[in-house]
Amino acid sequence: MIAAMASRGSSVLSFARQQPLGAISLLLILIMFFAGVFAERVAPYHPEVIDFTSILQGPSSAHWAGTDAFGRDILTRIIYGARTALLISLVSSLLGCTLGAILGASSAYFGGRIDYAIQRVVDILLSFPLIVLALVVVAIMGRTLVFGIDIGLIAAITIPIIPQVARVIRSSALSIRRMSYVEAARVAGYSNTRVIFRHMAPNLVAPYLVLLSVYMSQAILLEASLSFLGLGVSEPTPAWGLMLAGSATEFFAQAPWMVIFPGLAISLAVFAFNLLGDSLRDWLDPRFRT
């Protein structure tokens, strides 16, 4: 554990050397992350203040990505939108992957009837596309605000991720479960929780990180889709999917920049996390190297 921590600095370097595309995607993610966190300093305008003197202006030196139907600067709203997208996606993919991993690992560890029951429910959930499950959760929970955060939306993105992760982690955990050191830990009389979290979990970190990156991208896509449908983030909060809805669909003939730039932001974010996931997989597991 200590050795792993000490080598963390050099492992980032070795990742960058072996996976140049992965390093680029990591850089992109960091830029988006810092832009989102320091949006107040980075963004040139206020994201929500309406300015009727500059409605539907094309890209210019004053507004690099143009303005929307309310005269708001689109680049500013994209930068603030990064905060919304990354915050919601990070919380829901962390929750979804962690719950999925615990479910998958327990399913493999206990085996027998418990495994069978969990896997049948997972089977059923896996027969729907992510967006359908997300919409069903939206229908169940609606908009449930807790401290200004829509936990209905978080749940709608988290819950569809759980069965997907559970299935993948289960298959990794099954092979670990059969290893003699896990058997030894069980024979030594350690509790189930301890064996799962202390002995099996460290070997599941690699697939977990890959899944986290992949489902981060799916979460961004889901949030954008739900917001676009009017069932996610609501105005005036800046969110990429929301920027493509409403007035963007009315005015896209005159003001195509209203559609082009927010969509580019979504694509770039999803692209970066997909690429990072791919590179992490290649780097962490040499068997997958192509």
Cβ 192 to another protein shortest distance, Å = 26
Task: DSSP for 95-127, please give it.
Answer: HHHHHHHHHHHHHHHH-HHHHHHHHHHHHHHHT
Does 70 sit near another protein (CB under 8 A)?
A: no
CA dist., res. 175 & res. 193, Å (int): 18
Nearer to another protein, 144 or 175 (CB): 144
Q: Given the rule CB under 8 A, which of 63-71, 103-111, 168-176, 246-254 is the region that contacts another protein? A: 246-254
Does 239 sit near another protein (CB under 8 A)?
A: no
Does 121 sit near another protein (CB under 8 A)?
A: yes
Does 23 sit near another protein (CB under 8 A)?
A: no
Cβ 62 to another protein shortest distance, Å = 23
Closest CA to 74 of 263, 268, 234, 272: 263
Taking residues 204 to 223 in sequence order and writing x for each that binds another protein by CB under 8 A, - otherwise, the string is: -------------x---x--
Q: Given the rule CB under 8 A, which of 48-56, 107-115, 202-210, 229-237 is the region that contacts another protein? A: 229-237
- Sort residue 148 into left (φ over 0), alpha (ψ -120 to 50) or beta: left
3-class SS shares of the chain: helix, strand, coil, % to 5:
75, 0, 25
Cβ 248 to another protein shortest distance, Å = 8
* Helix/strand/coil for 218: helix
Cβ 227 to another protein shortest distance, Å = 11
Cβ 269 to another protein shortest distance, Å = 8
Query: Long-range contact list for 126-131, CB < 8 A, 24+ apart?
Result: 126/163, 126/164, 126/167, 128/160, 130/160, 130/161, 130/164, 130/218, 130/222, 131/160, 131/222, 131/225
Q: Given the rule CB under 8 A, which of 51-59, 89-97, 132-140, 182-190 is the region that contacts another protein? A: 132-140
Give the dihedral of Cα atoms 88, 154, 242, 278; nearest 10 deg.
Answer: 60
Residues making contact with another protein (CB under 8 A): 120-121, 123-125, 127-129, 131-132, 135-136, 138-142, 217, 221, 224-225, 228-231, 244, 248-249, 252-253, 256, 259-260, 263, 266-268, 270-271, 274-275, 278, 290
